[in-house]
Amino acid sequence: MGRRAVIPTPVLAAVAVHSPDKLHQNLCRQRTLVAIGTHDLSTIQGPFTYEALPPEDIKFTPLKQTREFNAKELLQHYLDHDQKLKKFVPIIHSAVVYPVIYDARRTVLSLPPIINGAHSAVSAELGADGTALSVSVPPTRSDILHACDVAEDVAIAHGYNNIPTRIPPTATQGRELPINQLTEMLRGEVAMAGFTEVLTWALVSRAENFDHLRRPDDGNTAVEIGNPATAEFEVCRSSLLSSALKTLAANKENALPIKLFEVSDAILLDASRSVGARNERRLVAVHCAKESGFEVIHGLLNRVMEVLGVPHKDEPGASSRPVSYHWSPSTDPALFPGRQAAVFSGETQVGLFGIVHPEVLAAFELPYPVSALEINLEPFVFDQFYGSLLEPLDS
């Protein structure tokens, strides 16, 4: 006899009754081979005994009855008044002794294959003793990964509309995070500039994150995955560029030019955070054609900054604003020397753009020149007074 804790509901109670009936009709050969019953294990106590006794000595209150019968009286009652159970009575009616199952307290659990006792009946009003319930997840529920998944199942079974509402103990305001508002705005603007949005995995291989981009792995940048299931998901990407180039390689048979972009998170190690890492919202864009298309990527950078309300430092009136941007030559290994630049907001580098290095193109099996842009968007999440709207979720 197996035992599993469940949350009783009217639906589960109905399943507990009807499922054995289906088995009785086919595999159990109308109860002549096997009879199945369900019991509330909190009302009974083992060990259990299976005995054969004279029908006059078997006395109990059966399911759906309010008084006690002996076995002989009960079978006659079913023959006279119960059309459903009447067909099973001949299985044991002429026997000298009847089968009966007792628990350790000598409480009748069942008169097989006819009826169970009312004492251990399963209903939707059952409850677990105490204040805690131990739940075991069966192997068939691979979707349950956390205790919150169990809570969700309970809430669905109970009904979300049946959960009483209450005023929260603290004043809260439900709204979209400013970084997400900025993300949605930029997605539309970059798409209107002729770029196609892609959505890629946050996990990449170590080679794609470092070797393919000609960048060294210092061990202090990327978050490593413990025991990765596949070589393609070894680390969390510390740059969106590898994902964009990988997607570009998968679509290189399309007509040129190919212009792709993604606004998503890069994951970086950060010892100052309690989890040891942080997400950084970035924009990456790539342009692939028979020519490098450097001017296209450069133009997209200017358009993004225009939308963000950040002027170039050499524009008239830029000196009167707290935030401006500029670029200067850079030496990133992923980009071609002399054909790349770092993007700065004030004195802080926030991104880079340029022509992708030929060795990087070869690593991703790209036959055409590619120009790329990648910038960190978080420094530009500010209000009309240039005050930061970023709300740190972790300190």
pLDDT given at position 91? 87
Q: Are residues 190 and 330 in the same domain?
A: yes
Task: Evaluate whether residue 140 is within a structural domain.
Answer: no
pLDDT given at position 20? 65
State how many domains the chain has.
Answer: 2
Task: Evaluate whether residue 167 is within a structural domain.
Answer: no
Task: Evaluate whether residue 45 is within a structural domain.
Answer: yes
Decide which of 103, 134, 165 is a domain's last residue: 134
Task: Evaluate whether residue 63 is within a structural domain.
Answer: yes
CATH number at residue 259: 3.30.930.10
Task: Evaluate whether residue 393 is within a structural domain.
Answer: no
Q: Are residues 104 and 221 in the same domain?
A: no
Q: Are residues 188 and 119 in the same domain?
A: no
Structure pTM?
Answer: 0.60
Q: Are residues 271 and 200 in the same domain?
A: yes
Parts of the chain with a pLDDT under 70: 1-26, 122-132, 384-387, 389-395
Task: Evaluate whether residue 61 is within a structural domain.
Answer: yes
Q: Are residues 130 and 182 in the same domain?
A: no
Q: Are residues 198 and 306 in the same domain?
A: yes
pLDDT given at position 341? 97
Structural domain of 128: 10-134
Q: Are residues 76 and 209 in the same domain?
A: no
pLDDT given at position 241? 97
CATH number at residue 107: 3.50.40.10
Q: Which of 174, 332, 204 is nearest to 264 (CA)?
A: 204
Q: Are residues 211 and 279 in the same domain?
A: yes
Give a three-class secondary structure readout of the chain.
CCCCCCCCCHHHHHHHHHHHHHHHHCCCCCCCCCCCCCCCHHHCCCCCEEEEECHHHCEECECCCCCCEEHHHHHHHHHHHCHHHHCCHHHCCCCCCEEEEECCCCCEEEECCCEEEHHHCCCCCCCCCCCCCCCCCCCCCCCCCCHHHHHHHHHHHHCHHHCCCCCCCCCCCCCCCHHHHHHHHHHHHHHHCCCEECCCCCEECHHHHCHHHCCCCCCCCCCECCCCCCCCCCEECCCCHHHHHHHHHHCCCCCCCEEEEEEEEEEEECCCCCCCEEEEEEEEEEEECCCCCHHHHHHHHHHHHHHHCCCECCCCCHHHCCCCEEEEECCCCCEEEEEEEEEEECCEEEEEEEEECHHHHHHCCCCCCEEEEEEECHHHCECCCCCECCCCCCC
Q: Are residues 257 and 376 in the same domain?
A: yes
pLDDT digits (tens, 9 = 90+) for 178-228: 999 999 999 999 999 999 999 999 999 999 999 999 999 988 999 999 888
Q: Are residues 76 and 201 in the same domain?
A: no
pLDDT given at position 1? 37
Task: Evaluate whether residue 173 is within a structural domain.
Answer: no
pLDDT digits (tens, 9 = 90+) for 223-237: 999 888 898 999 999
Decide which of 134, 163, 198 is a domain's last residue: 134
Q: Are residues 54 and 196 in the same domain?
A: no
